[in-house]
């Protein structure tokens, strides 16, 4: 297995496919590097080196009690980038992974970064507050935590429906995709499954987005039931200097899977532009 060890002893697993300019993928909660396998295979087949880590507590990485916060996630990502000595890298983050990319740039800058893409991503901040009145109320995230504690296996099975838009009329449901989602979710440790909810919902990434000084693609579905577009992409694309916003009509949160051909072509066009 390909792993690195962070300063607190956590082992971070990563996939490393192909050769060429590096593309680094940061996955969403509570998935793993496998969530990006369609994009990685497509881009590695076209002359890029595709690297995706399993976030601490997720997938094949260690399951520590501590460090399930975006600062630590970003520092783990930086440790991987530095260990592999990646330069001129393109960072692609989905959902919580988009927050990880934002915090990585906020904490570590863009010295090693060429471009970034945020897909269905959480920035600037999901939680409703006086400063963010359009956000989601804390009760939404309390319900997620309650679901994880009560029966996380069943909870994740049910979460796959809104995640991929399979609860919409006329949706073409893939049992295989649902099972892959559940498998990845259950590989995440219980602490990460629970504590990461606070990390992705309450972390304000506004100042991190202001540090972006590289070409950035913001890609989001307007039927995203997990990270609603109005309080995420429509705001972050205005905060990031010269960001390119692309909205997919009717697309769900898990569009890297359900619309993989379209997303792959979008990413390749952005990378090569």
What residues are annotated to the active site? 95, 224, 253
Q: Which DSSP letter does residue 132 get?
A: -
Please name the residues in contact with 162: beta carbons below 8 A apart, sequence gap of 6 or more.
225, 226, 252, 253
Take residue 127 and report the two structure tokens written for it.
Answer: 């939680």
Alpha-carbon distance of 257 to 5, in angstroms, equals: 30
Distance CA 153, CA 132 (A): 32
Spatial distance between the Cα atoms of 89 and 81, rounded to a whole number of angstroms = 9
Chain centroid to Cα 176, Å, comes to 21
CA of residue 78 relative to chain centroid, distance: 15
Sheet holding 11-17: strands in order across? Answer: 3-5, 11-17, 48-53, 21-26, 89-94, 113-119, 216-221, 244-248
């Amino acid at each position: 297995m390909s792993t690195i060890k962070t300063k607190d002893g956590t082992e971070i697993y990563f996939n490393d496919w192909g050769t060429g300019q590096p593309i680094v993928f940061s996955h969403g909660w509570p998935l793993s590097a496998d969530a990006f396998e369609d994009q990685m295979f497509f881009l590695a087949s076209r002359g890029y080196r595709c690297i995706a880590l399993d976030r601490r507590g997720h997938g094949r990485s260690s399951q520590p009690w501590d460090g399930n916060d975006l600062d630590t996630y970003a520092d783990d990502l930086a440790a991987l980038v530095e260990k592999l000595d990646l330069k001129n890298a393109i960072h692609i983050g989905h959902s919580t992974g988009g927050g990880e990319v934002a915090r990585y740039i906020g904490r570590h800058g863009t010295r090693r970064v060429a471009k970034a893409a945020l897909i269905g991503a959480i920035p600037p901040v999901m939680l409703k507050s006086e400063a963010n009145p359009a956000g989601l109320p804390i009760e939404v995230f309390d319900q997620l935590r309650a679901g994880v504690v009560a029966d996380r296996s069943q909870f994740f099975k049910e979460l796959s429906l809104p995640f991929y838009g399979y609860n919409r009329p006329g949706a073409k449901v893939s049992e295989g995709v649902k099972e892959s989602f559940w498998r990845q979710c259950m590989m995440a440790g219980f602490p990460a499954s629970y504590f990461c909810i606070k990390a992705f919902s309450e972390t304000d990434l506004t100042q991190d987005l202001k540090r972006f000084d590289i070409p950035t693609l913001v890609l989001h579905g307007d039927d995203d039931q997990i990270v609603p577009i109005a309080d995420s992409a429509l705001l972050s694309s205005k905060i990031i200097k010269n960001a390119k916003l692309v909205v997919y009509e009717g697309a769900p949160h898990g569009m890297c899977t359900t619309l993989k051909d379209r997303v792959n072509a979008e990413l390749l066009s952005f990378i090569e532009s």
